[in-house]
């Protein structure tokens, strides 16, 4: 059943999101392709929301009817020097119950449209995606990200060195993005 996409919103995290956030961050299916292990306690998730999500300048809760079903984060790349201010990295996750409904694609579209407005010097958003994560690669392609190549043996994730695909979207490419 297709989700009514206009109900999807992005907003800053609140501490009250902790139980819904656990459905994302505590699920091994969701965290399988991330560097983080699944959270095992509500307290762990609460600390993460408080110490990482809330203070981060561009981490948002993906919501349906104001209920957290995922997250999206866009972070400056590199060391944070002025030379790196032109690029950022994107990461996202969605509760497994919502996979395959176009939600993540819509959330990424909204996020990149907004972040290019919020950060004037930003000209490139990039994503590093495990070669095994075909669904995430499709999300990026649907949004308009270009797959630039494969970085062999690039990322050490949960005890294994993995190949990753690198994708990018330039601010010049966003003319095709339509806000909902």
Domains of the chain: 1-73 (3.40.630.30), 102-180 (3.40.630.30)
pLDDT tens column, 37-57: 899 999 999 999 999 999 999
CA 83/CA 65 separation, integer angstroms = 39
pLDDT band for position 12 (cuts 50, 70, 90)? very high
Cα within 13 Å of Cα(26), Cβ side: 14
SS3 for 114-134 is HHHHHCCCCCEEEEEEECCCH
Q: What is the pLDDT of residue 157?
A: 80
Cβ distance 132 to 163 under 8 Å? no
Neighbours of 69 (CB within 10 A): 23
Whether this prediction's pTM lies above 0.85 is answered by: yes
pLDDT band for position 36 (cuts 50, 70, 90)? confident
pLDDT band for position 76 (cuts 50, 70, 90)? confident
């Amino acid at each position: 059943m297709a989700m009514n996409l206009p109900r999807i919103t992005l907003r800053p995290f609140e501490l009250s999101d902790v139980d819904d956030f656990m459905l994302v961050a505590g699920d091994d299916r969701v965290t399988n392709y991330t560097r983080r292990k699944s959270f095992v306690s509500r307290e762990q998730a609460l600390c993460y929301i408080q110490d990482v999500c809330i203070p981060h300048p561009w981490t948002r809760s993906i919501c349906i009817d104001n209920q957290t079903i995922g997250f999206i984060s866009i972070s400056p790349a590199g060391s944070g020097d002025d030379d790196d201010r032109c690029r950022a990295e994107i990461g996202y996750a969605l509760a497994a119950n919502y996979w395959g409904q176009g939600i993540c694609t819509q959330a990424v579209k909204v996020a990149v449209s907004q972040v290019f407005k919020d950060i004037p010097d930003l000209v490139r958003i990039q994503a590093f995606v495990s070669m095994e994560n075909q669904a995430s690669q499709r999300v990026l392609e649907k949004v308009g990200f270009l797959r630039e190549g494969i970085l062999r043996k690039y990322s050490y994730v949960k005890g294994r060195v993995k190949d990753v695909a690198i994708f990018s979207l330039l601010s010049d490419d966003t003319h095709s993005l339509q806000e909902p």
